[in-house]
Structure 1
Amino acid sequence: MAPKKKPTNRMKRRGYTPREFNSQAWINHHKHLFAESLRDVVRRPFSNALTWLVIAVALALPALLFVTQKNLQQLAGQWQEGAQVSLFLYDTVSPRDGALLADDVRQRPEVRDAWYLSKQQALTEFSAWLDLGGVIDALDSNPLPATIVVLPISQTRTDIEILGTVLGSLPEVADMQLDIEWVQRLENINAFLHRVMWAVSSVLGLTVLLIVGNTMRMATEARRDEIMVVKLVGATSSFVRRPFLYMGLWYGCFGGLMACVMVWTSLALLQAPVAALADSYASNVRLQGLTIPESLLLLIIAVALSILSTWVTVSRRLARIEPNPVL
């Protein structure tokens, strides 16, 4: 244990108790280390830049995967808003009965809207969509059935499937189709990216721990003689470890800031091409980046990993560095 410093006459004149004096000394020591460690890190930017860059790359990759997943969720949500159920009616159902059935379906609480398309309307829309006017005119008869198009209120895949099953069982309905195939594919891709993101984050998080740990190992070796001296005069392990923890804090802070800059720069470069692609498909999808809370979380993760690695590495090194007192 380090010997407790006795309060000076100056402290006594200010009215400090021994406990208050020790607390004030502890706070002053932390303030000094906070500023001094920052000066040490900034004083050697080029020698520390490689460590910051490795931390930044290791954190930027999972952050970009997270942004990709978030944009896929946005795209799936917009596509789900256009998800619909198509009810193909028997040829024996008259246009009047089909329109009445569409009105009945529209009254259901789980349906947002529904409308009836006659056989001729369905053929006209199909011809305009595929630009097959000449081919359609050559047909002897209309092969398309009358259709009721249903827009569900709930846009979740499960609710749409349940609604399609219920409406498909109506006696006038010959067949039913759910127009959510792309939504299902996007959900599968999103689930895959979610697992990939966690796997990559785990591996690269371990990389951050190893990089910072190796840096701190070399730092403790460089100060080996200094550590033995302060241990000889009674310094505790927590006292000796404290400067390295602040150094690890700044490594994580600068590495996290560089990771945020990498992500923001990458998204800025992709913003215009993505907007042009969305406009070509008449979509209002715009690339979403990291929000301020998400950026702060990335910074906190960087600092936490760096401090954790520093604590473990320095504690192990201090246990091996023992002074040799003169007998």
Structure 2
Amino acid sequence: MNVVPIRFSSLSSAALLMAMVVSWSSGFIGYRYVADQGSVYLASLWRFLLAALLLLPFAWAGLRGLRGKAVLHQALLGLFAIGGYIGPIAASIQLGVTPGTASLFANLLPLTIVLLAGSVPGQRTRGWQWLGLALCVIGMLLASAASVEWAGAGLWVYSLPLLAVLSLAAATLFEKARPGVAMPATTALFIQTCAVIPLFALLAGLEGEVRPPISADFASGVLWLVVFSTFGGYGFYWLCLQRFSMQRISGALFLTPPVTLLWAWLQFDDPLSVSAMLGIGLTLVGLPLLGRKASEKNVPPASCRKLNPQVTSQ
């Protein structure tokens, strides 16, 4: 999502990454609120309907003058990064995979992005980053292990969360390699949310209901998902993708499981095991190594820019 560039100081960059992590974690908390009130598909439908309505006044000016190719670019990002990520994970839970097991697969996203980063020029993982990656992966697995249960779902069902991870990773690589036309973040996110509304309307309709339940818990849960998980989660994710290397973004995303575990412990009194604490510690040790030689200098030197005037700094 090639948004209008914004410059950040070191402090604001760290704050931006942390905001992405906290907002990304909020989705697990939000869906826990609405799980007892209706299906995940129904909650997602109304989540993106409300998000699109709230974004429209801010996106309207940016929509004028956009060409079909730019709109299609953002719509495809929405289908793969939002619909292709949330839909399969929700389907796996509906078919018997426990939420803990589904989240374990979902937490493989940063690993997948790092492993595939070599296909994007200037994003190859090198040196100490591999050690940092290994520590982060081990820490993530230890932190998530306590919530994993292998339920009686069919073997093929467990491929759905993996499909979700590949879908979002593909959207990330595509956007990093071939950013679209520069536009305000609100405009791009509006197009993306509109693109997934028909998908979740179809999925909710197949379950037999598209009307929201009259429930304060459902309404507050959907509002939570709109503000924190959609505006915050995807908004900060795309902004970070414009500002940082894929290794640094992936390193930050490794903090999502620990943050979610701590959040659930504080808010729902979920148990926090010794293995979870050990996993959090390993993740924190691995993060500086993963970012030690991150390939964030994506901008060519001045001599190269003179040869290619279309290359600009962020």
- Specify the TM-score bucket, using the shorter chain as the normaliser: 0.3 to 0.5
Structure that is richer in strand per residue? 1
TM-score normalised by the chain length of structure 1: 0.32
TM-score normalised by the chain length of structure 2: 0.33
The structure whose Rg is larger is 1
